[in-house]
Amino acid sequence: MSKARVQAGGSPVASITVVELAQSPAGEQTGKFIGDLGADVIKVEPPEGVASRHVGPYVKGHEGDPDHSLEFWAYNSSKTSHVVDAATECGRREFAELLARAEVLIVEDVRWLARLGYELDALQQERPDLIILSVTPFGLTGPWKDYRTSDLIALAAGGMLNSCGYDDHSIPPIRPGGNQGFQLGASFAWCALLLALIERKNTGRGQLVDVSLHESNAVSGELANPYYFYPKAVVQRQTNRHAQPEPTQPATFECGDGNYVYFALILAESKAWSTLLTWMDDLGMAADLLDPAYQDIAYRQRQFGHVQELLEVFFLIQDAETVYHEGQRRGLPIGRLNAFEDLPNDEHLQARGFFVDMPTIDGDSTKYPGLPYRFTAFEPVPGRPPRLDEREAENA
């Protein structure tokens, strides 16, 4: 692996050592967050490697190779890998030595920790300075604490899935892609770790933090909970737009090149209406919308169906890239539904240097997403994910 480089200034977590017992995107992403900022993250793995190394997709030509899993690469940059065999005395001693060096332990499964010779309660007593960050499917307590999860299950139980899918309710709710059920747990675990580090700086004490994926999903539904907390309404899913108590107009438009844009026209917003009208007129597509009657909000709202049809045609005669940039140029909040291949070529992302050139284990390099935040005081650049049992950091 290569450790994260801190190009300028000093990273506040550079001196911290973390031991990570994780193999789902929840715990792994949490370790990545702190590792990408320059902490020493020691990823402890069983002899065959963690589960994420055995999940595809793989680098082409290396199918099944645990060092070339892109699922692993996605969540394990800037870490070292230490194979520790919990079945051997030697392995357990080695783990004890690693843990003795650490300020933070990330743990997804207390049974794995137990096999390595530690119980949570005893460990807290033995190491009051240690921050133990537990990230589990439902939390360490409660009637569902032993229930199993997956990304789909976390999204379903936590209420996120209920808001996502199509207008056609004969189709079940559809899982949003990218392991977001796990990612919500990782985001809260990361904030919890930072709070615990701040408290430790003030008091010298560590603590056990018990983050629940289920709860992380259950508090992240945006409008869904407030709609129940206040008017007792249950929101209904709609295609690629906000689930609401009642149906609203579609906001996804197909363009002439087969790609899509998102644009929610709020007819009560007079400025947006006149901007859109000017744009349509410039392309000779405003038709009868130029009728002064449409200056009246109530009239526009009554004619919504007709407005929507003209809008569909207006977008369909243009390509999505043009619609996106021209709409934004005119001040409308409109977005192209980018596919992955659109992103590295985006001139804005290029100007910001968002993608970094990440060295690969084959001596090659690949584009890799950069950090989600930028600081003037310090500039870390993530290092590559480790091979199985790659213990020493290369000089970056």
Binding residues for other proteins restricted to 156-185, rule: CB under 8 A: 156-166, 169, 171-180, 183-185
- In this complex, which beta carbon is closest to other proteins, that of residue 83 or of residue 264? 264
Which distant-in-sequence residues (6+ apart) come within 8 Å of 370 by Cβ?
353, 354, 355, 356, 381, 382
Kindly identify the residues of this chain, within the stretch 68-127, that bind other proteins according to CB under 8 A.
70-71, 73-75, 124
Nearer to other proteins, 89 or 377 (CB): 377
Task: Tell whether residue 357 is a contact of other proteins (CB under 8 A).
Answer: no
Cβ proximity to other proteins: between 202 and 395 the closer is 202
Binder to other proteins among 83, 285, 337, 396 (CB under 8 A)?
A: 337
Site for other proteins in 365-384 (CB under 8 A): 366-378
Binding mask 20-59 for other proteins (x = CB under 8 A): -----x-------x---x----------------xxxx-x
Rank residues 91 and 206 by Cβ distance to other proteins and give the closer one. Answer: 206
Cα separation of 343 and 337, whole Å?
A: 11
The number of residues that bind other proteins (CB under 8 A) is: 162
Sign (positive/negative) of CA torsion 199, 200, 205, 210? positive
CB of 88 to other proteins, least distance (A): 26
- What is d(CA 35, CA 135) in angstroms, rounded to the nearest whole number? 17
Nearer to other proteins, 90 or 191 (CB): 191
- CA torsion sign for 228, 231, 233, 236 is negative
Nearest distance in Å: CB 135, other proteins: 8
| Element at 286 (helix H, strand E) | none
d(CA 253, CA 243): 18
Nearer residue to other proteins within complex by CB, 94 or 244:
244
State how beta strands 380-381 and 5-6 pair: antiparallel
Residue in 64, 81, 91 with CA at minimum distance from that of residue 383: 81
220 binds other proteins (CB under 8 A): yes
Nearest approach, Cβ of residue 249 and other proteins (Å)? 9
8 A C-beta contact, residue 307 and residue 300: yes
Identify residues 235-254 at the interface with other proteins (CB under 8 A): 235-246, 248, 251-252, 254
- State yes or no: residue 273 binds other proteins (CB under 8 A): no
* By the rule CB under 8 A, 152 interacts with other proteins: yes
Token look-up 């199993």 returns: 148
Q: Can you say whether the dihedral through the CA atoms of 61, 65, 71, 72 is positive or negative?
A: negative
- Residue 304 CB, nearest distance to other proteins (Å)? 10
Hey, which residues between 296 and 325 contact other proteins (CB under 8 A)?
A: 324
268 binds other proteins (CB under 8 A): yes
d(CA 3, CA 79): 7
Binding residue for other proteins (CB under 8 A) from 122, 195, 283, 316?
Answer: 195
DSSP state of 58: B
Residue 6 binds other proteins (CB under 8 A): no
Nearer to other proteins, 117 or 250 (CB): 250
Kindly indicate which of the ranges 81-89, 106-114, 148-156, 277-285 contains the residues binding other proteins, using the contact rule CB under 8 A.
148-156
65 part of the interface to other proteins, by CB under 8 A: no
Instruction: Write the DSSP string, 109-174.
Output: -HHHHHHTT--HHHHHHH-TT-EEEEEESS-SSSTTTT----HHHHHHHTTTGGG-S-S-TTSPP-
H-helix or E-strand spanning residue 208: strand 208-212
Which CB, 377 or 395, lies closer to other proteins?
A: 377
For other proteins, the closer CB: 287 or 361: 361
Name the β-bridge partners of 264. Answer: none
**Contact region for other proteins (CB under 8 A) — 94-102, 108-116, 211-219, 288-296?**
211-219
Considering the complex, what minimum distance in angstroms separates the CB of residue 259 from other proteins? 8
CB of 229 to other proteins, least distance (A): 4
Q: Does 335 bind other proteins (CB under 8 A)?
A: yes
Report helix, strand or coil for 366: strand
Edge-to-edge strand ranges of the sheet holding 252-254: 252-254, 260-262, 335-336
Task: Look at the block and give the residue holding tokens 């976390």.
Answer: 154
294 binds other proteins (CB under 8 A): no
CA gap 196, 284 in Å, rounded: 60
